[in-house]
Structure formats: C-alpha cells, structure tokens
Chain A
Amino acid sequence: MACSKDVERFAEDLAARFRGKILEWYLKPLAEASCVYFRVEKGSLKQVAEVLFKEMDGKLSTISAVEHASFFELVYHFTLSRQGILVNLKVELEKDRPEMPSLAPLMKGANYIEREIRDLFGIEFPGHPEPKRLILPDGWPEGKHPLRSDYKGVE
C-alpha cells in the first residue's frame, strides 16, 4: 500500500526515465490505493512494460481496448504488488488497420489477452507466438469484430 506521495514520486521517476516517451501522467484514487495513468508513445510501450515487468516485479493484470471516435486506445493495466501501485499505460492506435507489437514473447500472461482483443476489436499484435482465435468460433467470418461500434451482427 502506497500513499499518494510515494505514487507521485514513482510516477515522476518513471516519466523522467522515459522522457519524451511518456507523454503525460495523472493520478486517480482507487478505494485507499492509488492508480496512476501514463499516456505512452506507441513505439515505446514495450520498453516501459519491460521495465515494469522485469525490474519492478509488476504483473500484467489485463489490457483493455477502448474505441473512441477517431482512434482505438489500449490500456495496459499492471499491478505492482510490492509497491502497492496500479499502473495503467495508455497508447493510441489509428482506426485504420490498428496494430500494436505483441507483449506475449515477453510474458506468457499476455497471450490470451491479446488474442481476445484481436477477436473482439480486430487489433493485430505482430510478433504474437500463437496468433489464432480464442473467443470467436473457427467458422466466424473474417473482419467481423463484435465489440466494434460498426458491428451490425453476422448474417
């Protein structure tokens, strides 16, 4: 459990370490713990995630995909249990052919999560060791992604 001062110092340190790659950060209360959000430049996400996972014993909780009007957003949620900080890394992906380098070669925990996002949002993860379907059945038509706003059902 970390107090908000600790979390602020943690966020400042990480932002200073990845100057220019972390675009902004802000805190958000969560019950009594603290939750910090970083807006990360797309190409550097893997680097930041590696530091959280390997150096700080962080654990990838999940990745949330959010569809906005003009872009897709991926939110990587890391729990740093030892430090008691919830870290969320946000990246923006363009609407047209969204792609994000896979984290699965780095941590096996990302395998299912990325496959689910690929099924439901159609975001590709180049470098994924097992790029096959997870949620959708094998006979599902290509290019239909149920959680996208333009999804109108399957014939």
Chain B
Amino acid sequence: MPKEGVLIPIGPYHPAIKEPEFFKLIVEGENVVDADIRIGYNHRGIEYLAQRMTYHQVTFLVERICGICSNIHPLCYVQAVESILNLKPPERALYIRSIIEELERIHSHLLWLGVGGHVIGFDTLLMWTWKLREYVLDVFEEITGNRQSYAMMKIGGVRRDIRAEHRQKILKVMDEVERGVKQIAAMLLEDPVSRARLEGVGVLTKEEAGNYCVVGPTARASGLPIDVRKDFPHAAYSMLSFEVPVRTEGDVLAKTIVRIEEMLQSAEIVRQAVDAMPGGDIEVEFKEMVPGEGVGVAEAPRGEDFHYVVSDGTNYPKRHKVRAPTYMNLPSLKPQLIGYSLADAPIIIASIDPCLCCTDRLSVVDRREGRRKAYSWDELVYLSRRKTRRR
C-alpha cells in the first residue's frame, strides 16, 4: 500500500448502496496517477444466512441485497432454483417478470442520470429525472403495493398479477417516460458544458473491459455487445423485440448515452409485454426440493447478475453464491481514473453506477508537496462543480 493517496471511503449501509467501497487515489497535483479500491466494509453475510433459511425465505432475503435493483436478485435466485427443479413458470408469469425487470431498469437509470447530473453540478437534471422516476415508482406501488422491494418473485412464477386496470396506467407512464427521457437527453447532450465534462473522460478501452470481465452498460459503452436478455434469454425476452445499444468510445458520455437509449428500449419492451401478455396462471406449484445445482442469470440495470444454488435435497440451500454486477465493474475503475484530474473522479466513479449516496470522506496527498488533506465527498463534488463552472 503506497503511503500517500486519496482515500474515499464509501461508508455505511444505505438503501441506495450495494457495496460500500474504499477508493485510494494517488494524485500528482491535479492528476490521478494511481488508484486502489477495497470493498468489504459492510459485508452482511447474505450467503451465510441463505444457507440457514428455507428456499422460500431466501427469496425475501436476497430482495434485501440492493435497494435499487431489489427485483433482480430474487429473479436470479428463483431462476436458479427453477433450474434445479426443472420447473417452467407459466408464460404470463414470464411476461410479468420482464415488465418488472424493465420498469426497474427505467427507474434505476433515471436515478443514475440524476446523480450524475448532481455530481457535475447540473442539479436541475436531478430534479427532472427524479420527478420522472416518481411516476415509475407510482406504477410499482399500484401493481405490487410497494415502491421498492416489490416481493413479486416466487419459485415457479410471480406472487401478484398485473390486472387489466393497470394496463392503461402503465402505458400512460411509459409514454410519459419516453417523452421525458427524450427531452432530458436533448437538454443534457446538447449542452456544451455538460458534454465537455463527459466526453473523453474516464475511458475504458475494449481490451481493458474484456480483461476486467465488466458487465452491463459499462461493457456496452466500451464496444462489448453483451446483454443477458439477448445472449441467455430468460423471462419473456425471447418473445419480445428490442435492441441493445452499444457504443465504442468507452468514456462517460458513451455510458450516459447507452443508459439513455436503454431507457427508451425498456419503455418499448414494457409496452409490447403489456399488450402481448397471455392470460392464465401466474405460478406453478412444486412439491419438494430435489438435489442438484442451478445457475440464474439476469440483466440488472448495472449488468449481469449471477446466482448459483446447490441443493442437497433438504429444505435449506447447501450453498448459495451471489455475484452482483458492480462486483465486476468496480475494479475496472482503476484504468478509468488514472490519467484524469481529481475533479473528474466523482463523475468517473459515478459512471459505472455504483451506489454512491454514502460516500463520506476522502483524503488527498499531493505527492509534490507531501501534504495530506482530508476531503469530504461534498468538497470533492465542489471541486467537480468548480470545473464545470470554469468551462
């Protein structure tokens, strides 16, 4: 561990944070020359707990891994268990799973866009996107009863139906989202100041992206056309038509554009799914667990989410392995940060969409002067915003 460095401990648990992280940036003057990242500050032992709960209880446990993409972990988990049982959920349940997954992607990307705007000092963007996000959360509340942690997934199907009276509301909100996202995207991408802060910053090359095995929008912005929804179709994705936006630049702007285009695609998928959804049951029963092993994958807003479950035939999983997408994306921040200025660090870190709300403190050592200074996250954001103002 080098003596001097910039420490950004991203702290305690928060509904919006997946993995607390610790960044140690080494700067020379304004420029980042090295970076070290550590995780594990709030390890909750989910895998340990999962081995001591029944299969149905684990669905609710994994829902609590993340407060933003709370649906994706239960979805992966139930798919892994269904793979062990060789269980096929009814088609209507598959469509409902896709609808929930896409609504979640829209609200997660809107949240991200707002945080990104906030970090570069474009707080108006935060207000706009989070207002739009409210409409999506209203839909969740209406369908599932909850704005977050919807408890929709169940081994063999889903727990609640999307009823006929929800259809109009969903379609109306999707139109609203599409209109809003297009308007916001135009305002962000046509503004020369915002563009200057995003373009050419935090580049992740295709080679590095492959080497770090990154996933999701981070990979797709670096020219890797990978998307679980296309490559390993789950839920109803093989029956829906949509495109996977890919950019080759690898900078923060590319990651922004990929996410904006994904939101528009998601709105389209939800519209298709609501119309194409067949009638029928929403779950199938199963009698008892069988020994075996199963994998569950799904495309979370941040990339591929991966669950592996081993069963020994008892009521409790023998082993349950969870790998969230940020786990793969986080180490790739190292090449993204090196070579850019300290004021760019917040937007680069935000660009992979880790949950950042709890970033609380960081200390900087200027190698030339040998000084050590502790920055709070607010001060760091101030540095970033000052850079925007100078443009």
Contacts and interface: CB of A to CB of B under 8 A. Distances in A.
B306 interface: yes
A26 to B, nearest CB: 10
A60 B323 CA distance: 11
Contacts of A59: 210, 213, 215, 226
A147 B232 contact: no
Contact of A77 (B47, B231, B233, B306): B306
Nearest to B335: A108
A31 to B, nearest CB: 4
Contacts of B297: 30, 61, 79, 86
Nearest to A84: B231
B83 interface: yes
Contacts of B40: 119, 133-137
Interface in A99-135: 107-113, 119-120, 133-135
A134 B19 CA distance: 12
Given A1-B233, A79-B231, A134-B39, A146 B45 contact: yes
B306 A61 contact: yes
A81 B228 CA distance: 8
A17 interface: no
Chain B interface residue number, banded: 35 or more
B294 interface: yes
B229 to A, nearest CB: 10
A137 B48 CA distance: 17
A86 B327 contact: no
B38 interface: yes
B212 A30 contact: no
Interface string A51-78: 0000001011110111100000001010
Question: Contact size class for A?
Answer: 35 or more
Among B233, B234, B296, B319: residue with most chain A CB under 10 A: B319
Interface string B178-212: 00000000000000000000000000000010111
A66 B232 contact: no
B347 to A, nearest CB: 23
A137 B332 CA distance: 22
B271 interface: no
A11 interface: no
A32 interface: yes
Contacts of B210: 57, 59
Given A28-B293, A61-B323, A86-B295, A79 B234 contact: no
Main secondary structure of the interface of B (DSSP, over half): mixed
Contacts of B230: 1
B63 interface: no
A147 B143 CA distance: 38
Nearest to B324: A62
B86 interface: yes
Given A59-B226, A62-B321, A1 B232 contact: yes
B266 interface: no
B294 A108 contact: no
A144 B226 CA distance: 38
A41 to B, nearest CB: 20
Contact of A107 (B43, B213, B306): B213
Interface in B335-353: none
A128 to B, nearest CB: 14
A146 B48 contact: yes
A38 to B, nearest CB: 13
Contact of A135 (B43, B214, B321): B43
B331 A81 contact: no
A29 B168 CA distance: 36
A65 B319 CA distance: 9
A33 interface: yes
Contact of B83 (A29, A60, A81, A113): A29
B328 A79 contact: no
Among B40, B45, B214, B327, the most chain A Cβ lie within 10 Å of the Cβ of B40
A135 B47 CA distance: 13
Interface string B293-326: 1111100000010101010000000110101000
B263 interface: no
Given A31-B233, A66-B318, 11 more contacts: A30-B79, A30-B232, A59-B210, A62-B308, A64-B321, A77-B295, A81-B227, A107-B212, A108-B211, A108-B331, A133-B40
26 contacts: A1-B232, A29-B86, A30-B232, A30-B296, A31-B79, A31-B232, A33-B233, A37-B293, A59-B210, A59-B213, A60-B213, A61-B306, A64-B321, A65-B321, A66-B310, A67-B319, A77-B306, A79-B226, A84-B232, A108-B212, A109-B331, A112-B330, A113-B327, A135-B39, A137-B40, A146-B48
Interface of B: 38-40, 43, 45, 47-48, 79, 82-83, 86, 208, 210-215, 225-227, 230-235, 238, 292-297, 304, 306, 308, 310, 318-319, 321, 323, 327-328, 330-331
